[in-house]
Amino acid sequence: MTSPKLFSSPRTQAAMLMGPAILVYATFAIWPIIEVIFLSFQSWDGLSADRAWIGVENYRRIFTEDPVFWAAFRNTVIWTVMSVIFPPVLGLLLALGLNENLFGRVPLRAIYYLPVIVAPIAVATMWRWMYDPFFGLFNQILTSWGMTGLIQDWLGDRKVALYSMFVAYTWQHVGFSMVLFLAGLQNVDRSLVEAARIDGCNRWQGFVHVTLPALMTTITIVLVLSTISSLKAFDIVYGMTGGGPAQSTQMLALWAFTQSMQIFNFGRGSAISVILLLITLAVIIPYLRWSQRREEASR
C-alpha cells in the first residue's frame, strides 16, 4: 500500500481531499457574501455593464425614502419574536409528553415531524387553499360550528394575514424543535429525576430543578436555529401572499429579492440583504463564542 511520491506529504493530501468542497463553497457561498457587500454600495440593474459606486446612497434611500423597508423590518421583527416563542415552546411540550413511556409514541412523533418534510412552497400552497375565504377548511369549520362571526379573509385582511401565515409556519416548524428537544431529553439523567421525586419534589419542581438545567444547551441551540430559520422565511411568504395585502406580510428576505430580481435595483436589494446579514451575525457570533467556550470547557 505505497502511494505515489507526489501525494506523500500530508498537506498535499489534505489539500486534495478538501479542494473540491472548499473551492465550490468559497466560490458559491462565501464570494456572494462579499459581493453583496460591494453591490450594496453600487447602483446597478443586474445586467448592463454600467455599475456605479454611489457610497451609502442605497442605505440612505432605504432608511429615509422606502416605506416598504420599514414595514418589512417591522414584520421581520414580529415574525422572529413569534418564531422564538411559539414553535420552540410547543416543541418542548410535545417532546416532554412524547418522552414519557406512552402507547404509540413512535408514530405520534412521526406525525408531528411530518410537516417538516413538506416543501415550504407546498405548505404555502396547501394553507392558501385552506384559508380560501369561500371553500377553505377554516371558514367551513367555523360555519359548521355556527361561529360565522369569526369568519375571516385570512390572507386578504392586512390585520390578520401575517398571523395566519405564522400559523402555517408554526405547523411546519414545531416538529423540528420537538426532535431536537427529544434528543436533548435523552441526555437528562433519568435517575436524577427519580431521585428528586423521592426527595419530595413534585413534577413541576422536578422539571424546573432537574430537567430544565440539563436542557439548557438544547434550548440555546433551538433558539438560535429558530431565529435563523425565521430570518430565512422566504418561500412561505412568496407562495402565500407575495408580501401583501398592502405590504402587511412583507419581510426583509422577500423585499431584498424583490428589489434585485423584480425591480432590477441590485444595489438597493443588496443593501437590504446586508442589513439582514448584520441581524443574522448579531445572533450567530455570540452563539459561536458560546459554543466554542463550551467545547473548550468539555475538553
Partner 1 sequence: MTSIISSLEDAEAPAKRRDPLLIVLWIVLVSVALIWVAPFVFIVFTALKTNPEIMSTSAFAPPETMRFENFAGAWERGNFSTTFRNSFIITLIKVPLGLVISAMAAYALARIDLGRIGKFLLVFVLFGAMIPFQVMLAPIFTLVNGLGLINSYPGVILAYLAFGVPYQVFILHGFFRAVPKEISEAALIDGASHFTVFRRIFLPISLPVLAALLILDFVSTWNEFGMALVLLQDPKMWTLPLGLMSFQGQFSRDYAQLNSAIVMTVFPAILVYMIFQRYFVSGLTSGAVKG
- Which range of residues in 62-70, 103-111, 149-157, 158-166 is near partner 1 by CB under 8 A? 103-111
Q: By CB under 8 A, is residue 137 in contact with partner 1?
A: yes
- Which range of residues in 66-74, 80-88, 115-123, 150-158 is near partner 1 by CB under 8 A? 115-123
- Residue in 88, 231, 243, 248 binding partner 1, rule: CB under 8 A: 231
Q: Which is nearer to partner 1, 17 or 150 (CB)?
A: 17
Q: Report the nearest approach of partner 1 to the CB of residue 65 (Å).
A: 20
According to CB under 8 A, which residues from 8 to 27 bind partner 1?
8, 10-11, 13-14, 16-18, 20-22, 24-25, 27
Q: Report the nearest approach of partner 1 to the CB of residue 157 (Å).
A: 19
According to CB under 8 A, which residues from 164 to 223 bind partner 1?
171, 176, 179-180, 182-184, 187, 191, 194-195, 198, 203, 217-218, 221
Q: Report the nearest approach of partner 1 to the CB of residue 114 (Å).
A: 7
Exposed, middle or buried by CB within 10 Å (0-12, 13-18, 19+), for 203?
exposed
Contacts of 222 (CB under 8 A, 6+ apart): 88, 91, 177, 180, 181
- Residue in 45, 97, 208, 246 binding partner 1, rule: CB under 8 A: 97
Q: Report the nearest approach of partner 1 to the CB of residue 121 (Å).
A: 4
Q: Which is nearer to partner 1, 64 or 135 (CB)?
A: 135
Q: Report the nearest approach of partner 1 to the CB of residue 199 (Å).
A: 12
Contacts of 249 (CB under 8 A, 6+ apart): 75, 161, 162, 165, 237, 240, 241, 243
Q: Which is nearer to partner 1, 71 or 277 (CB)?
A: 277
Q: Which is nearer to partner 1, 159 or 278 (CB)?
A: 278
Binding track, positions 236-265, relative to partner 1; x by CB under 8 A: --xx-------------x--xx--xx----
* 8 Å CB contact between 49 and 31: no
Rounded alpha-carbon distances, angstroms, from residue 249 to 75, 92, 134, 159, 167: 7, 27, 22, 10, 13
Q: Which is nearer to partner 1, 159 or 167 (CB)?
A: 167
Alpha-carbon distance 90 to 101, whole Å? 19
- Residue in 54, 68, 108, 160 binding partner 1, rule: CB under 8 A: 108
Give the interface size with partner 1 as a residue count (CB under 8 A).
101
- Residue in 112, 131, 154, 166 binding partner 1, rule: CB under 8 A: 112
Binding track, positions 52-91, relative to partner 1; x by CB under 8 A: ----------------------------------------
